[in-house]
Structure 1
């Protein structure tokens, strides 16, 4: 037996090397699969959190956004309305950032992109955007989001 090992040592070493490569490749494949599963789970968790936060925020700001849309605001109400409007813009910006970081699925981003563009296209809201932008209350990041999401293509 000992002589057989010496005689076939090159073949045994080659077989062990091939087996090592196969085991390594299999381990690498499992690692990639686990990372993809983790990424999918993270995107799902992000989507759930965003939807939950959206429902809470909309419930909170809806009365003031309705006042904005009615166009009947007195000076005292306007400040509170613009604060709520700004909070909605920041919420959409956080979704935009998640999308840029690949933290949500492209389909989820598309839904929020369409929602934002429809939401901001209401004339009273577009005017509120302009007012906040003219008052330097909207950042370049907000402008970049609107351009990226709502640009006519």
Structure 2
């Protein structure tokens, strides 16, 4: 009985099977068998080398148009929200429509009642260097207003 009691009073021995696991990082056997990819040398003609650049340029143009469209929609939605809250959605829609018609025809603007929110948004976009999307924003805003005012 003394031998059984004395075994439980001291420190427990570390199991032999788990003592080495915390010293080594765990690697799978498949990681040991993989080799880094070998570098390839390829010789192409100037025409073939230019093709990827054209594809990359087209992808970048597509990304820009998508992002500018998303930005235009976001600005238009924010303008619609602010106009609804201010109770000037109809006036803002008329002003945006007049601005869009003027920008498309480059004719002199008629006497249209300006909406302060539309003016502020246009000034902000131009100030940020995004004057190129003003027409897109106005077109999106007009589309949003048409949907909102018809319902």
TM-score by length of 2: 0.38
Q: Which has the larger radius of gyration?
A: 2
Quick check: which one's helix share is greater? 1
Quick one: higher RCO (CA 8 Å, sep 6+), 1 or 2? 2
TM-score by length of 1: 0.37
